[in-house]
Amino acid sequence: MLKKLLVLAALLTPVVAFGADKSKDDEPVEHLTDEEIYEQLKKLALVFETARDNFVEEADEKKMLEAAMNGMLQALDPHSSYLSADDFKEFNDKSLGEFGGLGIQITSDRGAVRVISPIDDTPADKAGIKAGDYITHIDDEPVFDLTLNQATKKMKGRPGTKVKLTVISEGQEPRTITLKRAIIKVESVKYEEKKMADADEDTDEKIGYVRISDFGATTTKELTKALEKLEDKDVIGYVLDVRNNPGGYLTAAIDVADAFLDAGEIVSTRGKRPTDIERNFATPGDLANGKPVVVLINHGSASASEIVAGALQDNGRALVMGSQSFGKGSVQQQKPLGDGTAIHITIARYYTPSGRSIQNEGITPDIEVLQSKIEVLERKESLYSEASFKNSLKNEEAEKKDKDKSDDADRELTDEEKDALDYQLQRAMDMVRAMAKLQERAKIVPMTPDDDVADVADDDAAKENDKDSSEE
């Protein structure tokens, strides 16, 4: 038994070392000799056998070993983990755009579960869970002793069943939310042409709105279709909304950035060794035809979202607006172990075209626009009027209007009304409109100083000719 354990651990060791990072405190790593590694592996096997033989109940050997492997990987960084056969299958199903659960992207943070972001139109999103929230309990059980995979499993289940989460938002008291599990069908890309909230009804200015909720296997195809349809609508520019987008496939992020670029570097990934550098460049063909682009980001924009925002920002192709992004600048890869299981391992950091690392920093928007709401400073009615007098006669028509207003307040907002309340979106569309006007003005070529000199010279020559003609 001991010999088998040593072989298993030895097989795992090279794979783990490939993704190993420096310690959190940037202290130099003290490497063990082969003999020291062997002694530590013997100790691991001894701990396993001792625990199995002496634990008060029947020990689950598979559970113990999987926990040991998972702990080994999570000691590297929050994004590395062991995937059981079920976990690996679920990961692949999710990447194909459909999976069961609550629709929430999470990470491990100081023993708690932190929300990277909810996915659009899912139970988590509809329940009001936000990026940056912490989940402390699942069905009244604390999450502090759970691995990330275990916490994820507890939140998943048969569609239609319920799960109770205790959630803490910044500056608020803990709240308990009961959510109903569902089949999560992720449409990566949603699009439509929009008008400003205060635009005239007869205005022809239409802005292409493209919302990417995550970067999956179908994102590139969906985005290409969206841009083709919006170009047919003759939009004046684009808002690319990646707020609360937790990321996904690196290849999908590269393709999305490439869709808006004709040339230039998109991203570089740098691994453990100096030679482990890969650069990705844009190919000719801007599907937005050079029209203005504003990228909207916020604290929930992570990983692949940051690659896209950084690429378009560094290449001068788009303005980035919103708030500081999440700051996940590392690349993970699945490495199958040959028996249906795999490890999810951090293999590289990524850098924007200008050489910026996003890790722990995020993308800084060109123009910071925090989500806000408009406050009316002037009252519609005066405090002092006929209506302010005691026992003044009522206006029957006004009472009817008040009732109608009350009924309107109870109804669900339309999409247009929701857009009008989205302050960041309105400012982004404002910027697209301004950039489009600047582009139009640039097409009118102004007279240069050289043209002025040439015109004056022509006028002088004409006058000399007239003078000579009159003298003759």
Q: What is the pLDDT along the chain (472 residues), one digit of tens a residue?
A: 434 433 333 333 333 333 334 444 567 888 999 999 999 999 999 999 999 999 999 999 999 999 999 999 989 998 899 998 888 887 776 655 566 789 888 887 777 788 988 888 889 999 999 988 999 999 999 988 787 878 888 888 888 899 999 999 988 899 999 999 998 777 789 999 998 877 766 667 899 999 999 898 899 999 999 999 999 999 999 999 999 998 988 999 999 999 999 999 999 999 998 899 999 999 999 999 999 999 999 999 999 999 999 999 999 999 999 999 999 999 888 899 999 999 999 999 999 999 999 999 999 999 999 988 766 555 545 555 666 566 666 766 666 666 555 555 556 777 788 888 899 999 999 999 999 999 988 877 665 555 554 554 555 555 555 545 444 4
pLDDT given for residue 261 in this prediction: 98
Whether 3 is catalytic:
no
DSSP bridge partners of 349: 270, 330
Check residue 274 and report its DSSP letter: T
- The answer to whether the CB of 106 falls within 8 A of the CB of 81 is no
Q: What is the distance between the alpha carbons of residues 326 and 360, in angstroms, rounded to a whole number?
A: 8
128 shares its domain with 273: no
Please state, in angstroms and as integers, the Cα–Cα distance from residue 64 to each residue in 42, 47, 50, 172, 203, following that order.
16, 11, 12, 37, 66
Q: Residues 74, 103: contact at Cβ < 8 Å?
A: no
Q: Which pairing describes strands 104-109 and 98-101: parallel, antiparallel, or unpaired? A: unpaired
Burial of residue 76 (CB within 10 Å: 0-12, 13-18, 19+) is middle
What's residue 411's pLDDT?
61
Q: Are residues 250 and 348 in the same domain?
A: yes
| CATH code, domain carrying 268 | 3.90.226.10
SS3 302: coil
Among residues 168, 185, 202, the one where a domain terminates is 185
- Exactly one of 156, 188, 328, 419 is catalytic; which is it? 328
Residue 414 CA to residue 393 CA, distance in Å, equals 36
Residues 211 and 330 in one domain: yes
Number of domains in the chain: 3
The answer to whether residues 204 and 314 belong to one domain is yes
Instruction: For residue 408, give Cα distances in angstroms to 374, 394, 397, 398, 400.
Output: 20, 22, 17, 15, 12
Greatest CA separation for the chain: 127
The last residue of a domain, from among 185, 217, 248: 185
Question: Which helix (DSSP H) or strand (DSSP E) does residue 206 occupy?
Answer: none
Residue 385 lies in a domain: no
pLDDT of 215 reads 92
Q: Are residues 212 and 281 in the same domain?
A: yes
The answer to whether position 112 is within a domain reads: yes
At how many degrees (to 10) do helices 61-74 and 34-54 cross?
140
Distance CA 403, CA 396 (A): 11
179 and 204 co-located in one domain: no
Q: Which two tokens stand for residue 101?
A: 């659960």
- Which of 213, 370, 239 is closest to 301 using CA atoms? 213
Among 160, 185, 210, residue at a domain's last position: 185
- Active-site annotation holds for 233: no
Judge if 208 and 324 occupy the same domain: yes
The verdict on 265 and 351 lying in the same domain is: yes
Nearest to 303 by CA among 215, 186, 240, 223: 215
* Paired tokens of 131: 């990026």
Read off the tokens for 205: 């200015």
165 lies in a domain? yes
In 3-state terms, what secondary structure has residue 271?
Answer: coil
Residue 79's domain comprises 2-26+34-87
Per-residue confidence (pLDDT) for residue 373, from 0 to 100 = 76
Q: Are 77 and 330 in contact (CB under 8 A)?
A: yes
- CATH number for the domain harbouring residue 152: 2.30.42.10
Domain check: are 240 and 274 in the same one? yes
Q: Looking at this protein, which amino acid is placed at residue 3?
A: K
Place of tokens 């697209």: 432
The reply to whether 223 and 297 lie within a common domain is yes
The pTM of the full predicted model, rounded to 2 decimals, is 0.71
13 and 124 part of one domain: no
Same domain, 181 and 193: no
For 76, residues 6+ apart whose C-beta sits below 8 A from its C-beta are: 16, 19, 20, 21, 345, 346
Q: Which of 432, 36, 461, 387 minimizes the C-alpha distance to 230?
A: 432
* Catalytic member of 117, 188, 303, 330: 303
**Structural domain contains residue 430:** no
Query: Is 264 part of a structural domain of the chain?
Result: yes
Q: Is 303 a catalytic residue?
A: yes
Residue 129 included in any domain: yes
Q: What are phi and psi of 173, to 5 degrees?
A: -75, 150
Rounded-to-integer distance, Cα 95 and Cα 252, Å: 11
* 387 vs 393: CA distance, rounded Å: 8
b/e map 84-119, b = 16+ CB within 10 Å: beebbebbeebbebebbbbbbbbbbeeebbebbbbb
